[in-house]
Amino acid sequence: MRKILTVLTALIILPFASFAKDPEVRLDIVPYPQSVEIGKGSVKIAGAQFYCDPRLDSLSRVTVASLAGKLSLVTGKISTNVIGISSTIAPPQKGFVFLFDKAMEDEEYSISATAKCITVKASSSNGFLYAVQTIKQMLPTAVYGRKMAVSEDWSIPVCEIKDKPRFKYRGMHLDCARHFFPVEEVKRYLDIMAVHKLNRFHWHLSDDQGWRIEIKNYPRLTEIGAYRSGTMIGKDFGSNDGIVYGGYYTQAQIKEVVKYAAGLGITVIPEIDLPGHMLGALSAYPQMGCTGGPYEVWTKWGVSNAVLCPGKEDTFYFLEGVLTEVMEIFPSEYIHIGGDECPKDHWKTCPDCQKRIAELGLKSDDKHSAEDYLQNYVTSRIQAFLGNKGRKIIGWDEILEGNLSEGATVMSWRGVDGGIQAAKMGFDAIMTPNTYCYFDYCQALKSENENEPLNIGGELPIEKVYGYEPFDGMDENSAKHILGVQANLWTEYIEEPEHLEYMLLPRMAALSEIQWCDQSRKDFERFKTAIDHEFKIYDTLGYTYSKVIKGIHGYKN
């Protein structure tokens, strides 16, 4: 620890201040900062001094240390001298100076680069993280690498940057239920989220096709529910390759991911989808269903009509037990409880469900059936249980069907209407419309789709992603309830990590500008110019990405 703290205040004294001849400097930063002023000249950073304000928290210090270590590696200039800053000494006039500024908002930061000094200010660890990401994007992309690159121009332009995000919730979703991705790939997913300043990772961990999280009090969930007997071939719903497929994350592995994400400024939000999309769980504990089974983890895509039975009290005992362990693993304020695509055929004929409906006095009306209101009861009961533990729920927009309890947050996926409706009703909402934010859709137009890897269908080119405006169709009061924007990546047809990354990138870059930039700061022509720099970052980090924007198709090209 003492060695780390020494690096945090490392001083390397080398010549500074090299002025550029051409004042017309373009910054290829994604997402683009809210305010940028570029001056004349540039600042050499090879051998730069690093100073830390003593008020910085431990994560902020680690962030500074990481930048210092990375620059030492890639520039070949090693730290040898040590100087600290006390609260009574004025900041030095050379090198990097990282200062705590309590007047700044959470996640806000500023960078002031003069001929000799680069001053970074923020009030939170995330603010310093984002400042460092911006600095790295102004440098040669070799800064993302693991080897020395002394021939690069290790300088940044003289500039003034003031920046903060438009939305506090900037999310990305990953479905690990249809196809399972190992911890190391999940970490790579988080790494590239951090580059683009995203701060929420929505982890879809259960579905009809597999249960992916260890629950110690219900071991059969992973012994049986985590494995299916095969997988449909291509889009032939009557087929089965006969190959047993599955996997799950231990609680220790999940805690490792949560800790890793926190170091990147990312909160992990788990999803346990209920009461539908539960065939993985029912295959392990059939008594929780209306018919009692037998059930089998689904080998095809789509939605099973086998769902949890809310007429049985044991179902709620089961859900509360599962969610108790989930809360012990995930410290996030929010728990996602799904609520989407819940067929109610079995509820209509289940004696237990009908008895519950009668006891609750639920009636069909011209808007919803009694069974719809029964699902509403499930949502409200789970919301109350989690609320008593200090947590909040997020649910897909189907949870609006009925009488939603105060305090729930709606995730709008069936277009934008669910989010607009929720906001009008006074509920917080997160916009994840499939029309703009479903990254399992093809990146090419339909006429070019045949050259793309197998996908679920539809088309979502990067231009359309970039063009999304979350406040469209909303009045000012409704807009206040929009927490942010998220893109979803479902994996029915995505098994290989390379395919996963290909569907994600570079659309995540476009997503990041929706989430971060005020509408007036978005500019697709500027973004297209910056995309070449993004590609170089992806290349240095070893990511697979789509080049459809360049007219090149296929992730193996």
Contact by Cβ (8 Å): 443, 481: no
**Cα gap 325→322, rounded to integer Å:** 5
490-517 CB burial, b ≥16 within 10 A, e <16:
bbbbbbebebbbbbbbbbbbbbbbbbbb
Phi, then psi, of 109 in degrees rounded to 5: -155, 165
403 burial (CB, 10 Å; 0-12 / 13-18 / 19+) is exposed
Q: Is 207 a catalytic residue?
A: yes
Strand partners, 289: 308
Which of the residues 160, 296, 341, 523 is marked catalytic?
Answer: 341
d(CA 365, CA 371): 11
For the question of residue 160 being annotated catalytic, the response is no
| Alpha-carbon torsion, ordered 330, 375, 248, 295, to 10 deg | 160
DSSP code string of 398-458 = GGGSS-PPTT-EEEE-SSSHHHHHHHHTT-EEEE--HHHHBTTSBSS-GGGGGGSPP-SS-
Residues whose CB is less than 8 angstroms from the CB of residue 505 and which lie 6 or more positions away in sequence, other chains included: 192, 538, 543, 544, 545, 546
| Catalytic residue, candidates 173, 204, 277, 533 | 277
DSSP states of 480-527: TTEEEEEEB---TT--SHHHHHHHHTTHHHHHHHHHHS-GGG--HHHH
Could you give the angle at the alpha carbon of 143 between the alpha carbons of 141 and 144, nearest 5°? Answer: 80
Runs of H (alpha helix) within 330-425: 345-349, 351-360, 370-387, 417-424
Q: Which of 207, 271, 398, 401 is catalytic?
A: 207
Please give the Cα distance from 200 to 315 (Å, whole number).
30
φ/ψ of 98, rounded to 5, equals -105, 115
d(CA 466, CA 276): 32
Task: Write down the residue that tokens 């990546």 correspond to.
Answer: 489
d(CA 324, CA 22): 60
The residues annotated as belonging to the active site are: 207, 277, 341
